[in-house]
Amino acid sequence: MAKGQHKWVFKARFRAGAYGWRGSGLASKRLKEAVSEINKVAKRDPVEAGEGAVALMERLWPALQDIDTSTGALGGAVSGTLQKLIPLLIDAPADEKTRRKWLERLFTAIQEDGVDYLAPLEDRWGEICVFPKLAYAWVDILMPTVRRVWSDHSSFAFVNGGHACLSCLLHSGRYQELNELLSLQAHPIWSTEQFGAEALARQGMTDAAIAFAEARRVDGYGEWQIIKFCERILLEAGREEEAYRDYGLLAADGNTYLSVFRATVKQYPKLNPRQILLDLISTRGGKGKWFAAAKSAGLLDVALECAAVGTSEPATLIRAARDFLDKDPDFTTQIALQAIQDLLAEKGYDPTTLDAIAAFDFAIAGASRLENQERVVKEINRIVDQADALGSAPLMCQAVRRSLEAMA
């Protein structure tokens, strides 16, 4: 196929109005397929792949504008797509003329974007320019408008291109002009101030960059982004211990406590995972919620301590008891007893008597392998008696008592 003539499959799937109100799942799937297609082309023709990246970015808002985005899933999918494609776009060995046209098309797409899907493009505009001449040209285009809007403190107005202008100044090393432009804002926010902090860091002024960022850590707005910035700057300066102590334990993000733990361990591979977990628990709190992280890391003593708090989901404890029956019957026994105690204390999300019976069975199975079944039976009786005295979970108590009677 001739250069520049790849027939992009994704174009037909990202036409204007392609997805309806409930199209989030399908659109997210199509985004993954589009990234895969572009990456495949990049292996043989990175410039053509850059063209594909631009074409997809142009189509995002027109194609996705009718989708319900209230869950945030689509926004995450778009963000992940841009994270993969922006580096490809920057690295593409396109000539200056081609890149100029790409930038013009992308800026038009940014101006037409109804929900700021393409905001990450502006943040890296200077990098995407690649050629210093292009970065200077975009400053000339954008600076007058940005300066005029930010200088008018009589009313609040948003201006497309503010971040793009700052990014070009940053990557051109025009730090004084960057700071002068930032100083015009009536209400500075971290999304723009980050360029000033980055400018200090690039000049080797690490402590000044940290202080600059910390001074803007107010009212919780942009706090996580500031924490991430400070951690990165310290790590780049080789100050790993300080980065970990001051920011690392708060920087990792994830959908679960386990993913937060894994991300922190990955960021600090020289540190002991056990200590990292203990530090995370101490810093972030919610000890019972860290059970899965401790179990997955093989830190079973810590997992038991987490479970003992009584805030872990009983179903999670029962699954752990099942999984460790052969590997560590003592852990199975203890964690199953904790599950029984929690269920009879009426904890957990919509549990049933089958959960109590399963926890009982695993406790007995683990005890049998350790030949201490008598002690475990006594402990189960104690737990049931205590729950009966409190009038707690009568159906659960009956189910466990029947299981005890069946053993007699």
Residue extents of the structural domains in the chain: 10-247, 252-298, 313-407
SS3 3: coil
DSSP assignment letter at 215: T
Asked whether 287 and 309 are in contact (CB, 8 A), the reply is yes
On whether the CB atoms of residues 150 and 184 are closer than 8 A, the answer is: yes
Pair of tokens at residue 347: 């904890």
- The residue-averaged pLDDT of 28-43 equals 98
3 has pLDDT over 60: no
Indicate the DSSP class of residue 35. Answer: H
User: In angstroms, what CA-CA distances link 239 with 137, 243, 268?
Assistant: 37, 6, 12
Q: What's the pLDDT at 220?
A: 66
Answer whether residue 4 shows pLDDT above 60: no
**pLDDT tens figures, 45-72:** 999 999 999 999 999 999 999 999 998 8
**pLDDT at position 153, please?**
86
pLDDT tens sequence across 201-219:
999 999 999 999 999 987 6
Q: What pLDDT is attached to residue 407? A: 82
* Amino acid at residue number 352: T
pTM above 0.85, yes or no: yes
Q: pLDDT by residue (tens digit) across 278-288?
A: 999 999 999 99
Spacing of C-alpha 87 from chain mean position? 19
Contact between 206 and 238 under an 8 Å Cβ cutoff? The reply is no
Write out pLDDT tens, residues 330-371: 999 999 999 999 999 999 999 999 999 999 999 999 999 999
Q: Give the CB-side neighbour count of residue 138, counting CA atoms within 13 A.
A: 34
Give the per-residue pLDDT at 169.
98
Residue 10 near residue 37 (C-beta atoms within 8 A): yes
Cα–Cα dist 28/44, whole Å: 26
Total residue length of the chain: 408
Q: What is the dihedral of CA 38, 42, 45, 47, to 10 degrees?
A: 80
Is 90 exceeded by the pLDDT of residue 188? Answer: no
User: Which comes out higher in pLDDT, residue 244 or 2?
Assistant: 244
User: What local confidence, expressed as pLDDT, does residue 218 receive?
Assistant: 79
> Residues with Cβ < 8 Å from 361, sequence gap 6 or more?
403
Other residues' Cβ atoms within 10 Å of the Cβ of residue 363: 28
Determine what percent of the chain is predicted with pLDDT higher than 70.
Answer: 98
Phi, psi of 158, rounded to the nearest 5 degrees: -95, 145
The Cα angle at residue 290 between residues 286 and 296, in degrees rounded to 5: 180
Q: Is the pLDDT of residue 5 over 80?
A: no
Which band of pLDDT confidence, cut at 50, 70 and 90, is reported for residue 222? Answer: confident
Residue 1 has pLDDT above 50, yes or no: no
pLDDT tens string 98-128:
999 999 999 999 999 999 999 999 999 999 9
- Residue 131 DSSP one-character state: S
Mean pLDDT of 390-408: 91
